[in-house]
């Protein structure tokens, strides 16, 4: 009889995490030092950069070199320059600057052990005090929104909602962020009208994107906190929720969906674009890691499974609850609702 080779467990995942952890640590440190702003101001000479941010030349050189293969810096004859990514998103004062917002997330992530031990979040992203963070994250969309237009259009097509099938839609985009999810409808249909609801500083960025997309005149901006504002009654054909409901407890999700129900005309639809957990919570990697992120970002968060959304929507009196993909749910207000 032949003998089989013994199975040797792999260190692959640990080694991989260690490698990527070094990258994360280096980029986080560069952001904390405001390094990319200093490179832009100092003309890329390491001795001047070191003096500007108060670090040793040796330590700085090692850090700067490591950032080159990441695609954040170029180096030529000992002089460093910013790549388009760093120039656009990581230099303070630029319109799409988002380093501070990312640092808010990353610094809070260092408190994950506290969140696991206590079960309590260390940051409150759903709270109005997080407006600066949300605005900072949304700022990057001033540049990146064209990359996601086609995906947004495909989602509406999956729902059977197009300019041809449902012209003249009135849409409430609740917690709209950059607004792309609803603005693509306005692009396709000049008779569509969008009401964009979010915090004021986020809406200021959404307004710029609406201008870039050529739909500014079709959008009404409605500043406010999703949990606090009242939606106009029976004014909309569609209420859209993007990546927001998983920040809230079941009671608050149900309350928000009831507001959406009142805001819709009979026969109108609520659309939820979200991350949906599998029922056993052991397969969908994005959902599982999002749950870890939310543990320390939002006190009442939960990444819900479809059956839970189905229950919330049913309690809020919606019918025809349908999961269209692992990221998209819709339901309808009855014609006699």
For 304, counting Cβ atoms within 10 Å of its Cβ (0-12 exposed, 13-18 middle, 19+ buried), the class is: buried
Residue spans per domain, the chain: 11-92, 130-332
Does pLDDT of 274 surpass 60?
yes
Non-local (6+) Cβ contacts of 21 within 8 A are none
Residue 10's pLDDT is what? 86
pLDDT, tens only, 308-325:
999 999 999 999 999 999
Non-local (6+) Cβ contacts of 219 within 8 A are 179, 183, 186, 193, 194, 195, 196, 206, 207, 210
pLDDT, tens only, 224-260:
999 999 999 999 999 999 999 999 999 999 999 999 9
| Residue in the block written with tokens 């692009």 | 187
What is the DSSP annotation of 41-107?
Answer: HHTT-HHHHHHHHT--HHHHHHHHHHHTTTTSEEEETTEEEE-HHHHHHSSTTSTT--HHHHHHHHH
Distance of CA 139 to the CA centre of its chain: 11
Residue 5's pLDDT is what? 67
CATH 3.40.50.150 fits 130-332, yes or no: yes
The structural architecture, per CATH, of the domain 11-92 is: Orthogonal Bundle (1.10)
* Distance, CA of 288 to CA of 108 (rounded, Å): 18
| Residue in the block written with tokens 């749950």 | 291
* Distance, CA of 96 to CA of 87 (rounded, Å): 10
Mean pLDDT over each residue of the chain, to the nearest integer: 95
* Arithmetic mean of pLDDT, 74-89: 96
* Arithmetic mean of pLDDT, 155-172: 96
Kindly state the percentage of the chain with pLDDT values over 70: 99
Does pLDDT of 337 surpass 90?
no
Query: Which strand ranges, in their side-by-side order, compose the sheet holding 170-174?
Result: 219-223, 193-198, 170-174, 236-241, 264-273, 328-332, 319-325
Residue 9's pLDDT is what? 87
pLDDT band at 49 (very low <50, low <70, confident <90, very high): very high
* Distance, CA of 118 to CA of 249 (rounded, Å): 18
Residue 3's pLDDT is what? 61
Kindly state the percentage of the chain with pLDDT values over 90: 91
pLDDT, tens only, 181-233:
999 999 999 999 999 999 999 999 999 999 999 999 999 999 999 999 999 99
Q: Is the separation of the CB atoms in 331 and 269 below 8 Å? A: yes
Q: pTM of the entire structure? A: 0.92
Q: Which residues of 277-303 are buried (b: 16+ CB within 10 A; e: fewer)?
A: beeeeeebeebeebbebbbbbbbbbbb
* Distance, CA of 208 to CA of 1 (rounded, Å): 73
pLDDT band at 12 (very low <50, low <70, confident <90, very high): confident
């Amino acid at each position: 009889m032949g003998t089989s080779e013994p199975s040797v467990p792999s260190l692959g995942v640990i080694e991989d995490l260690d490698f990527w952890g070094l990258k994360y640590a280096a980029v986080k440190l560069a952001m904390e030092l405001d390094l990319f702003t200093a490179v832009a101001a100092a003309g890329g000479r390491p001795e001047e950069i070191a003096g500007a941010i108060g670090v040793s030349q040796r330590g700085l050189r090692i850090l700067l070199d490591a950032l080159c293969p990441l695609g954040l810096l170029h180096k030529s004859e000992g002089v460093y320059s910013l790549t388009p990514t760093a120039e656009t998103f990581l230099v303070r004062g630029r319109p799409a600057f988002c380093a501070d917002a990312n640092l808010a997330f990353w610094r809070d992530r260092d408190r994950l052990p506290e969140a696991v031990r206590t079960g309590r979040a260390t940051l409150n992203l759903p709270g109005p005090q997080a407006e600066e963070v949300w605005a900072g994250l949304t700022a990057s969309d001033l540049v990146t929104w064209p990359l996601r237009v086609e995906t947004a259009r495909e989602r509406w097509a999956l729902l059977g909602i197009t300019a041809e099938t449902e012209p003249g839609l009135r849409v409430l985009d609740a917690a709209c962020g950059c607004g792309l999810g609803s603005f693509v409808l306005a692009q396709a249909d000049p008779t569509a009208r969008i009401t964009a609801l979010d915090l004021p500083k986020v809406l200021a960025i959404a307004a710029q994107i609406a201008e870039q997309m050529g739909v500014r005149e079709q959008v009404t901006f409605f500043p406010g906190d999703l949990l606090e504002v009242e939606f106009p009654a029976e004014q909309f054909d569609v209420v859209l929720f993007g990546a927001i409901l998983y920040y809230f407890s079941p009671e608050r999700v149900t309350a928000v969906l009831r507001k959406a129900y009142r805001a819709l005309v009979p026969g109108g639809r609520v659309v939820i674009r979200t991350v949906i957990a599998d029922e056993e919570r052991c397969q969908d990697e994005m959902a599982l890691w999002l749950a870890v992120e939310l543990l320390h970002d939002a006190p009442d968060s939960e990444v819900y499974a479809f059956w839970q959304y189905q229950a919330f929507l049913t309690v809020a009196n919606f019918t025809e609850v349908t999961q269209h993909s692992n990221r998209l749910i819709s339901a309808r207000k009855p014609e006699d609702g």
